[in-house]
Amino acid sequence: MRNFLRRTGHGKPVDAVDHPHQRAADTRCPDGAAGHEEGAPGAPPAPGILPEPALRRAAAEFIRLHHAEAGLGDPAPRMARVFAEIADTGTYRHTPDELVFGARLAWRNAARCIGRLYWRSLRVIDRRELTGADDVAAGAAEHLREAVRDGRRIRPLITVFAPDAPGRPGPRIWNEQLIRYAGYERPGGGVTGDPRNVGITALARRLGWPGGPGSPFDVLPLVIQGGNDKPRWFVLPPDAVLEVPIEHPEDARWAALGLRWHAVPAIACMCLEIGGVCYPAAPFNGWYMGTEIGARNLADSDRYDLLPRVAELLGLDTGSDRSLWKDRALVELNRAVLHSFDRAGVTMTDHHTESRRFLTHLGREERKGRTVGADWSWIVPPLSGSATPVFHRTYDTVERHPAYVHHPEALARTRGESGDVLV
- The kind and range of the H/E element at 342 are helix 325-344
Of residues 108, 116, 296, 415, which has the active-site annotation? 116
From the candidates 287, 303, 399, 415, which is the catalytic residue? 287
Cross-strand partners of 260: 245
Backbone angles phi, psi at 126, to 5 degrees: -90, 105
Whether 347 and 154 have beta carbons less than 8 Å apart is answered as: yes
Question: Phi and psi for 268 in degrees, rounded to 5?
Answer: -125, -10
CA–CA separation, 40 and 340 (whole Å) = 53
DSSP structure class, residue 206: H
Sheet of 222-225: strand order equals 172-173, 222-225, 232-234
DSSP secondary-structure letter at 263? S
Q: Which of 29, 113, 269, 278 is catalytic?
A: 113
User: Which stretches of 345-421 are assigned E, i.e. beta strand?
Assistant: 403-405
Neighbours of 238 (CB within 10 A): 9
Helix, strand, or coil here: 222? strand
Report the alpha-carbon distance of residue 162 to residue 349 in Å, rounded.
32
Q: Point out the catalytic residue in the list 292, 332, 354, 399.
A: 292
CB 172 within 8 A of CB 287: no
Q: What is the pairing mode between strands 260-262 and 243-245?
A: antiparallel
Annotated catalytic residue 116: yes
- Measured CA to CA, the distance from residue 113 to residue 25 in angstroms comes to 14
User: Active site includes 287?
Assistant: yes
- CB burial string 376-404: b at 16+ within 10 A, e below: ebbbbbbbbbeebebeeeebeeebbbbbb
What three-state secondary structure class fits 147? helix
Does 292 qualify as catalytic in the annotation?
yes
38 belongs to the catalytic site: no
- What are the catalytic residues? 113, 116, 287, 292
